[in-house]
Structure 1
């Protein structure tokens, strides 16, 4: 007897609307530490730039591929936040991104319900591209954040 596990692909390219809704690429404004951001992708890309770099604020106002393409012009020397610099790709960098993702979900009852609706499904992140070794948020880390958020929502 075989059993198949239903999956939900968390990607803007997902065939499941829930995966698109939970994607970092979508325009989904949220407030994090008192600042307004257009999307998680804009946040991820913006923190690649030092606070004195005008591209930082520009990235914070973008979503999707526009944000990603702007972030590709950064030198990835660190993740800049609150006057400090976290090592790029470090656990601190990932924690900061995770905190922003949590803020986005916590501020949206709709996204909370979307994430709850994936109970019992395996969350995957398949974009159709090979993951870059210099990615800001590896798929494993992204999925761990979402799985922890989902578990917390389901306990409520």
Structure 2
């Protein structure tokens, strides 16, 4: 589904620039707990590697498909953050990714304005004809829920 009069596809493949800008693939540096990341996608893929793994650092400095491609080398049983191990795909894992998405947008006035410009639109995440993988790090419904919640918070400020 692409942008319609009532929805916006938040994806690197979106035909609406706002969807591309809000995508996790976008090169959009942010800081989370004093750590610098090139993109949310780099964060998502990097936390799949244990702390100290060289591929973790590569992912954190990556964006787009380069970051996504690293996932094939990761063990998807857990993610690693702040010295801890979190079960892959659980609510805590999704909350951690949500914190990264929130940090990215809160640190950019431009992205805040982009997100606010989507008011009245349903945010969707559709990357093509293939169904979403059940092994995805961040299900579309969770991703869009995070953005929608953040948009409502920004509107209330």
**TM-score, L = length of structure 1:** 0.96
CA deviations on 1:46-77 (whole Å, 9 max, x unpaired) are: 00000121100000000000100012210112
Gaps of 5+ in 2: none
User: Where in structure 1 are there 5+ consecutive unaligned residues?
Assistant: none
Given that 1:86 and 1:92 are in contact with CA atoms closer than 8 Å, whether structure 2 keeps it comes out as: yes
Q: TM-score, normalised by structure 2?
A: 0.95
RMSD: 1.0
Structure 1 residues 134-145: aligned runs within 5 Å: 134-145=135-146
1:13-40: CA deviation from partner (whole Å, max 9, x where unpaired) = 1010000000000100000110100000
Measure the CA separation in 1 of the matches of 2:22 and 2:65: 16
Superposition deviation, residue 5 in structure 1: 5.2
Tell me what 1:90 maps to: 90
Cα shift readout 1:72-92 (whole Å, capped 9, x = no counterpart): 210112010001000000100
**SS class of match (1:69):** helix
**Match of residue 115 from structure 1:** 115
Which ranges of 4 or more aligned residues in structure 1 deviate by more than 6 Å?
none
